[in-house]
């Protein structure tokens, strides 16, 4: 059984793990010393216009898009978000956030999950990073080094990064909500507009879909039994239920693709797993999908960890722990503020208390009427804290 040594082992070949491998490879003359462990997709042909749209899409904010473009992994297919409309069902009050108010070309973009992942994997094959196909192993600390045992042998490194979707141990909250993902066509599409509609059952997001201007990506958060019921409906019945909840801002919405359901919860644990291992992305925190902050927060983890490890990569005989500790300190405010926003919003709008609902409506009106307040919140959702 073989044994190899690297500078850094990254576990997880999803978007955050791949982005970190590429970011670190750009900062060293020996990219082969970076090992990425996970499952790697084979390239597939571009989806045709007549194919059933994939409901698995990602909302990428302005800051994350700039970072991915620096890595040269921006996918060919994307739908820009220029305006975000936030409202509450059956209550007055709404807020509209426009990209021109923030002096940016767009607030964000919606990209296909599989398209982004394939672009990352294709870029990795030419990066020089060592790719290790293994989906079961995890790093353990042995004599001051992170060691990973796989069926093909063991690899070790002074630093390990966990970026896969294992739920972290620490803060935990279950929302009694599931997210239903769907794709629909709109009879009166509004290109560049994204909608976040709060209901007593949970938030309902309708976003532009990258496949076509008249297609929308739907993320409908609701109690598990309601999600299961909606998942079983035929397309006509599901479309009727969706139009009743969302309204007619996009004309008639018609279900046109498969639906997926997954449970929602908050999990947030320490970034420093041990003195030589850090967690980023879903391995550090899993958030409620309201406002689409999960992957964007993970990519900010990536950007700052790459910066923090750059001096160490130049001299890997140093103790990496102080560099990892500095990264953890820098990420504290951003991750907890993002977690607080995405934790509070889906709970406060689902109390069923009329006084609270009216208060939320007044808050939306206040944000809309006072640009400095609205723009402060919008800028965090746009780029987060990157200090």
Which range is most confident: 51-60, 133-142, 226-235, 331-340?
A: 226-235
pLDDT bin (cut points 50, 70, 90) of residue 43 is low
* pTM for the full predicted model: 0.91
Residue 196 DSSP SS3: strand
β-pairing, 285-286 with 260-268?
antiparallel
CATH topology (fold) of 2-41+114-170+266-343: FAD/NAD(P)-binding domain (3.50.50)
Nearest to 198 by CA among 69, 356, 326, 53: 356
| pLDDT tens readout for residues 224-242 | 999 999 999 999 999 999 9
Enumerate the domain spans of the chain.
2-41+114-170+266-343, 57-112+173-264+349-383
CATH 3.30.9.10 applies to domain 57-112+173-264+349-383: yes
Mean pLDDT in residue range 286-302: 93
Mean pLDDT in residue range 192-209: 95
Mean pLDDT in residue range 364-381: 78
| C-alpha torsion angle, residues 211, 119, 277, 334 (rounded to 10) | -40
Contact 10, 35 (CB under 8 A): yes
DSSP 284: T
Q: What are phi and psi of 276, to 5 degrees?
A: -125, 5
Integer Cα distance of 80 and 208 in angstroms = 7
pLDDT at 45 over 50: no
> Which residues, in sequence order, are bridge partners of residue 260?
181
Query: Which residue stretches of the chain are H helix?
Result: 15-25, 62-70, 113-125, 224-232, 235-246, 294-314, 321-348, 354-369, 371-383
């Amino acid at each position: 059984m073989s044994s190899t040594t690297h500078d850094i082992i990254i576990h997880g070949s999803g978007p955050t793990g791949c982005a970190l491998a590429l970011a670190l490879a750009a900062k060293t003359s020996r990219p082969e010393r970076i090992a990425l462990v996970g499952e790697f997709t084979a390239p597939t042909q571009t989806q045709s216009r007549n194919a059933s749209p994939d409901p698995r899409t990602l909302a990428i904010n302005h800051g994350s898009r700039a970072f991915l473009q620096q890595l040269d992994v921006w996918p060919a297919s994307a739908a820009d978000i220029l305006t975000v409309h936030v409202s509450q069902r059956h209550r007055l009050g709404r807020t509209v956030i426009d990209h021109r108010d923030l002096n940016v070309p767009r607030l964000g973009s919606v990209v296909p999950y599989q398209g982004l992942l394939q672009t990352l994997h294709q870029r990795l094959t030419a990066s020089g990073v060592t790719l290790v196909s293994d989906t079961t192993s995890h790093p353990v600390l042995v004599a001051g080094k992170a060691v990973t045992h796989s069926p093909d042998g063991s690899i070790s490194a002074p630093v390990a990064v966990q970026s896969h979707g294992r739920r972290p141990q620490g803060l935990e909250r279950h929302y009694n909500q599931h997210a239903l993902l769907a794709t629909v066509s709109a009879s009166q599409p509004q290109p560049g507009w994204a909608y976040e509609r709060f209901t007593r059952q949970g938030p309902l997001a309708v976003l532009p879909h990258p496949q076509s201007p008249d297609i929308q990506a739907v993320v409908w958060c609701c109690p598990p039994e309601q999600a299961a019921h909606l998942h079983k409906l035929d397309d006509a019945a599901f479309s009727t239920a969706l139009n009743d909840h969302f309204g007619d801002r996009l004309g008639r919405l018609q279900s046109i693709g498969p639906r997926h359901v997954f449970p929602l919860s908050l999990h947030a644990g320490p970034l420093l797993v041990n003195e030589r291992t850090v967690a980023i992305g879903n391995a550090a925190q899993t958030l409620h999908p309201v406002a689409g902050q999960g992957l964007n927060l993970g990519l900010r983890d990536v950007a700052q960890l790459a910066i923090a490890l750059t001096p160490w990569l130049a001299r890997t005989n140093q103790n990496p722990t102080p560099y990892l500790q500095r990264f953890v300190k820098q990420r504290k405010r951003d991750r907890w503020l993002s977690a607080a926003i995405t934790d509070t919003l889906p709970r406060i709008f689902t109390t069923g208390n009329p006084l609270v609902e009216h208060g939320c409506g007044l808050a939306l009106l206040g944000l809309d009427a006072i640009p400095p307040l609205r723009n402060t919140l919008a800028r965090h959702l746009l780029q987060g804290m990157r200090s």
